[in-house]
């Protein structure tokens, strides 16, 4: 039943999106930042509706830890298609995602992602990858935050296991000299992936950790920043597993 209801919700949202696209396009002619703010308000509201219909009992921790006066890089563990939905339902700042280049071809979703100022990464091209980093630094300097999943893809291992964090995922934070916010998400895969194709009511916890300022780290921690941040997220996952 939840799967059917969610399908209806998505269909309604796609229909509503058509006139909203026109309005957002016009707003974007004058201010891309305002367009992104309005888009995130719409998407965040929609994500909360999706989670409610899915029966997801979401507990959000640590949103007050995130600096609101500057852009940050959110680093999160990736286990589910619902991860971005959970992130947008709770994001304390204006934010986009570093996403796979293939998502540019997905109708409706691609337009909203552009409005949200998401960046599309083509891993097959070093030149395009460097361009994405440059664009990301510019966004962060403008106060826009970025979500990154450094595992590179969804992980289907144990509750606390993660794929190795790609050190290249931290170039954006290093070049922009912005804070890194470790983000842990517990149980998102139990909403959908664990019993595909059905949606299941689930307790989910998302925690925004304390900001990490790269300049304050030891040289060894800077050299293996991926492992350092991953260890923090692992401890957050383990702690919040008790909550769920």
Q: CB atoms < 10 A from the CB of 77, how many? A: 27
d(C-alpha 120, C-alpha 5), whole Å: 30
Model confidence at 244, in pLDDT bands (50, 70, 90)?
Answer: low
Read off the pLDDT of residues 80-97 as tens digits, 9 standing for 90 and up. 999 999 999 999 999 999
d(C-alpha 48, C-alpha 53), whole Å: 9
Phi, psi of 168 (to 5 degrees): -65, -20
Residue labelled with tokens 């997801």: 56
d(C-alpha 242, C-alpha 178), whole Å: 31
> CA 220: distance to chain centroid?
27
Q: What's the whole-number mean pLDDT along residues 104-113?
A: 94
Domain count, the chain: 1
Measured in Å, how far apart are the chain's first and last C-alpha atoms?
Answer: 24
Average pLDDT score, the chain: 94
- CATH number for the domain spanning 71: value is 3.40.1130
Print the domain residue range for 87. 2-241
Task: Please choose, from the candidates 115, 88, 118, 82, the residue with its C-alpha nearest in 3D space to the C-alpha of residue 101.
Answer: 118
d(C-alpha 45, C-alpha 48), whole Å: 5
Least confident of 37-41, 82-86, 233-237, 240-244: 240-244
Q: How far is CA 90 from CA 55, 63, 77, in A?
A: 16, 8, 15
Nearby residues of 168 by Cβ (< 8 Å), 6 or more positions away: 129
pTM for the predicted model, two decimal places? 0.95
Task: Please choose, from the candidates 60, 71, 94, the residue with its C-alpha nearest in 3D space to the C-alpha of residue 188.
Answer: 60
Q: What's the whole-number mean pLDDT along residues 106-135?
A: 91
Instruction: State both tokens at 158.
Output: 């144990």
Residue labelled with tokens 């895969």: 189
The CA dihedral of 231, 233, 236, 237, to the nearest 10 degrees, is -100
Nearby residues of 103 by Cβ (< 8 Å), 6 or more positions away: 109, 110, 113, 120
């Amino acid at each position: 039943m939840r799967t059917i209801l969610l399908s209806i919700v998505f269909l309604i949202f796609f229909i509503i999106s058509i006139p909203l696209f026109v309005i957002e396009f016009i707003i974007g002619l004058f201010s891309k930042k305002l367009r992104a703010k309005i888009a995130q308000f719409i998407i965040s509201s929609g994500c909360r509706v999706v989670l409610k219909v899915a029966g997801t009992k979401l507990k959000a921790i640590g949103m007050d830890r995130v600096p609101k006066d500057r852009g940050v890089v959110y680093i999160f563990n990736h286990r589910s298609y619902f991860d971005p939905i959970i992130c947008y339902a709770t994001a304390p700042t204006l934010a986009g995602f570093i996403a796979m280049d293939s998502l540019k071809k997905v109708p409706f979703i691609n337009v909203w992602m552009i409005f949200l100022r998401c960046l599309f990464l083509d891993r097959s091209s070093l030149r395009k990858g460097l361009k994405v980093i440059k664009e990301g630094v510019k966004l962060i300097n403008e106060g826009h935050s970025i979500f990154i999943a450094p595992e590179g893809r969804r992980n289907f291992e144990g509750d606390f296991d993660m794929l190795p964090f790609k050190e290249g995922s931290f170039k954006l934070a290093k070049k922009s000299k912005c804070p890194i916010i470790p983000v842990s998400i517990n149980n998102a895969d139990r909403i959908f992936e664990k019993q595909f194709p059905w949606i299941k009511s689930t307790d989910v916890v998302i925690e925004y950790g304390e900001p990490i300022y790269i300049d304050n780290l030891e040289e060894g921690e800077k050299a293996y920043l991926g492992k350092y941040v991953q260890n923090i997220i692992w401890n957050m996952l383990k702690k919040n597993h008790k909550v769920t």
